[in-house]
Chain A
Amino acid sequence: MANRSGAAQRPNGQTQGKICQFKLVLLGESAVGKSSLVLRFVKGQFHEYQESTIGAAFLTQTICLDDTTVKFEIWDTAGQERYHSLAPMYYRGAQAAIVVYDITNQDTFGRAKTWVKELQRQASPNIVIALAGNKQDLANKRMVEYEEAQTYADENGLLFMETSAKTAMNVNDIFLAIAKKLPKNEQNAGQTGNNAQGRRLTEGDTGPKTAGNCCK
């Protein structure tokens, strides 16, 4: 089970209880249940008639994995996928992605393949991609066979699970599987002191102390 309190201390910068932070993006057609998966994972909630998540730039959730705390920063498409207008900035720095389709709708599986291609084109080459066949609770209306999706995932090196945001089936598991597959080296530990990442701006942040505040 995901652990929300997992802010492990790192006295004196020791790596005891390392914290790794990752950006994870969701992709997939409208109405396949992207937001529902996130809500289930982050808040343990499900709403049958979930409106798009107004106001959420991203949501966060942490998972404890052996001695490592994995913190996901989960980005939803905010509807920008609907008219194929996702901005390149959406993919920037994403280390993981979940491409979601609806097992009761063959078209969404076809589109999921397109999203995988788009990720391979736009995102970092090392991105960990998981394919989620959502709405598993509606398996009696299934239009996409499990084996078909599994074969496609295997051929493309994707993690694959069928999930249900409604019953919570495999929801934590798919995030956990991603967390296990992500590289947890110093590069991703914490947010500071690493060269590849840029600076996030926060109120009152004075950045690294520079000698003297010139001329003031």
Chain B
Amino acid sequence: MDELPSEVDLLIIGTGFIESIISAAASRIGKSVLHLDPNDYYGNQWGSFNLQALLDYNPDPSEPCDFRNKSFSLKNFHYEWLMEDQKEDLLKNSRKFNIDLTPKLHYCRGDFVQLLITSNIARYSEFRSVTRILTWLNGQLELVPCSRSDVFASQKVSVVEKRVLMKLLTSLDDILDSENTHNFKKFLESRKLSDNLVTYVMAMAGATEHTSLGEGVKSVKRFLDSLGRFGKTPYLFSMYGSGEIAQAFCRLSAVFGGIYALNQQNLISLDSEDNRITSLTTTKQQIRAQNYVTSLEQCSEKFLRPVKINNYISRAILITNKSILPSEQEQLSFLIYPEGTERIINVFELGSLTGTCPKNYYLVHLTSKQVTTPQEDFKGALGNLFSGSDQPQIIFSCYFSIPETSDLDFENVPENLFLCPGPDNDLDYNSSIQKAREIFEKMYPDLEFLPRAPDPEEIIIGD
């Protein structure tokens, strides 16, 4: 295979979401970018896998080296077939699965969707609207009304309540200044909303009993602001899985000259001198760059001290045989499941229209902050959703923990080395894109972050 370029402006190791955005942003402003990954797939912990590849996934490669940092790899990875007789059929359809390690939703009017549109990434990605939002109340699934007509059509909300709710939601801006209570739920209850309504509004905010008024109001506002743009709910999901998004940014980077090389097993070390990285040494060559960006998972321990991971994200992936709430048309459901008083489990139920699983099956993603182990953390919810005789059955389940690295700080990191954390526990990409932007602005102050890319029609080729 050809040698890699020996000198570039920016060398990136790892094709996770944050690295990929930085790559696109740097290529976009004309920097020469070499983007490498020791893995033979895109996305690191943000990647998506077909079923066979998920079964083969090895979070702890045997040989630790300078570019595989075990502290940051997935933990507790475990899968199991609960209905062995379906295994053959599912594996035959392995390629129809696109299973995300880190599934995310996009707010229709969020910064990220705006960035997708202005950077023209949206021109080559496809999305699905989340078609319904569910929550769990009094031992059953409830549809969260998402539009004025939903609210007024709902038989679970009385006329008086409707008026109270509308008034409340239209005056969110004034609430923060005027209210004394600092707890979101207590505030809702003080407004004489019924349990049903409190639950709905809590679900819109993704709030727990501990959520502050400020946070709660902010989240409800985000929810409401994103309504009515694309589809019936405020959320979009990337077709073929969230892993597609990192790939789309990598493509944008390549389109602007970024050079891609995956499956780089021959990397030896990042060499440093006087608190700066000087080069990357591979078995074949030395590569010099002005700046270096790496994912934590693919960064040598020598640059990452101290390592102390306090939090993990619990994840479960299920393949089931029908929807948790069957309906005539295939739905893309987002279930906000309150677990105890301080935890929300985000559940995405994806059907074949999302391009992430074959027909007649559903792919269910559960995500929550970790308390004990993923198995324990989801036990209650799975018991409620998947154990009755008329409920869907779990054919396959997979559990793992993702280290929460978004708030870690390291000491004495070389000044031209920029570290990209792994996934966070947020519903969307907002914080991650913020992180990417920060790194970009540190390297290239005063330069524009992902300006609009030209439309195909505007490109003039040649002299």
Q: Provide the residues of chain B in CB contact with A54, threshold 8 Å.
A: 255-257
Q: Say if the beta carbon of A45 comes within 8 Å of chain B.
A: yes
Given contacts A54-B257, A80-B260, 12 further A-B contacts (CB under 8 A): A45-B462, A52-B257, A56-B461, A58-B124, A79-B257, A83-B261, A88-B42, A199-B230, A208-B231, A215-B169, A215-B224, A216-B170
Known A92-B244, A198-B126, A198-B355; judge A210-B453 contact (CB<8 A): no
Q: Provide the residues of chain B in CB contact with A53, threshold 8 Å.
A: 459, 461
Question: Across chains A and B, which 4 residue pairs bring their CB atoms closest together, nearest first?
Answer: A198-B126, A212-B148, A83-B261, A213-B228
Known A47-B462, A215-B151; judge A58-B456 contact (CB<8 A): yes
Please state if B126 and A199 are interface contacts (CB–CB under 8 Å).
yes
Known A57-B255, A84-B262, A214-B224; judge A197-B229 contact (CB<8 A): no
Interface size class of A (residues with CB under 8 A): 35 or more
Closest to A121 in B: B95
Please state if A201 and B148 are interface contacts (CB–CB under 8 Å).
no
Known A57-B120, A197-B126, A198-B126; judge A83-B2 contact (CB<8 A): yes
Q: Say if the beta carbon of B276 comes within 8 Å of chain A.
A: no
Q: Provide the residues of chain B in CB contact with A203, threshold 8 Å.
A: 117-118
Known A198-B239, A216-B170; judge A80-B224 contact (CB<8 A): no
Closest to B126 in A: A198
Q: Give complex CA distance A198, B248 in Å.
A: 15
Please state if B148 and A215 are interface contacts (CB–CB under 8 Å).
yes
Per-residue interface assignment for chain B, residues 432 to 463, with 1 indicating a CB less than 8 Å from any chain A CB and 0 otherwise? 00000000000000000000011011010110
Q: Which chain B residues numbered 397 to 433 have a C-beta less than 8 Å away from chain A?
A: none
Please state if A214 and B122 are interface contacts (CB–CB under 8 Å).
no
Per-residue interface assignment for chain A, residues 156 to 191, with 1 indicating a CB less than 8 Å from any chain B CB and 0 otherwise? 000000000000000000000000000000000000
Please state if A201 and B122 are interface contacts (CB–CB under 8 Å).
yes
Q: Provide the residues of chain A in CB contact with B353, threshold 8 Å.
A: 195-196
Please state if B260 and A198 are interface contacts (CB–CB under 8 Å).
no
Q: Give complex CA distance A196, B126 in Å.
A: 11
Within the complex, the shortest CB–CB distance from B437 to chain A, in Å, comes to 20
Closest to B246 in A: A87
Q: Give complex CA distance A116, B48 in Å.
A: 23
Sample of 19 A–B contacts (CB below 8 Å): A45-B461, A47-B461, A55-B255, A55-B256, A80-B251, A89-B124, A89-B248, A93-B126, A121-B95, A200-B125, A201-B113, A201-B127, A203-B118, A207-B129, A212-B148, A214-B150, A214-B227, A215-B151, A216-B224
Within the complex, the shortest CB–CB distance from B28 to chain A, in Å, comes to 9
Per-residue interface assignment for chain B, residues 234 to 262, with 1 indicating a CB less than 8 Å from any chain A CB and 0 otherwise? 00100110001001101110111101111
Q: Provide the residues of chain A in CB contact with B165, threshold 8 Å.
A: 215
Please state if A200 and B123 are interface contacts (CB–CB under 8 Å).
yes
Q: Give complex CA distance A214, B152 in Å.
A: 10
Closest to A76 in B: B255
Q: Provide the residues of chain B in CB contact with A199, threshold 8 Å.
A: 126-129, 230-231, 236
Within the complex, the shortest CB–CB distance from B160 to chain A, in Å, comes to 16
Q: Provide the residues of chain A in CB contact with B255, threshold 8 Å.
A: 54-57, 78
Per-residue interface assignment for chain B, residues 146 to 178, with 1 indicating a CB less than 8 Å from any chain A CB and 0 otherwise? 111111000000000000011001100000000
Q: Provide the residues of chain B in CB contact with A197, threshold 8 Å.
A: 126
Please state if A83 and B232 are interface contacts (CB–CB under 8 Å).
no
Q: Which chain A residues numbered 58 to 97 have a C-beta less than 8 Å away from chain B?
A: 58-60, 75, 78-80, 82-85, 87-90, 92-93
Q: Provide the residues of chain A in CB contact with B456, threshold 8 Å.
A: 56-60
Q: Say if the beta carbon of A211 comes within 8 Å of chain B.
A: yes
Please state if B126 and A79 are interface contacts (CB–CB under 8 Å).
no
The residue that B228 contacts in the complex, of A39, A88, A206, with Cβ under 8 A, is A206
Q: Give complex CA distance A214, B224 in Å.
A: 7
Q: Give complex CA distance A17, B232 in Å.
A: 32
Q: Give complex CA distance A58, B454 in Å.
A: 11
Q: Give complex CA distance A14, B255 in Å.
A: 38
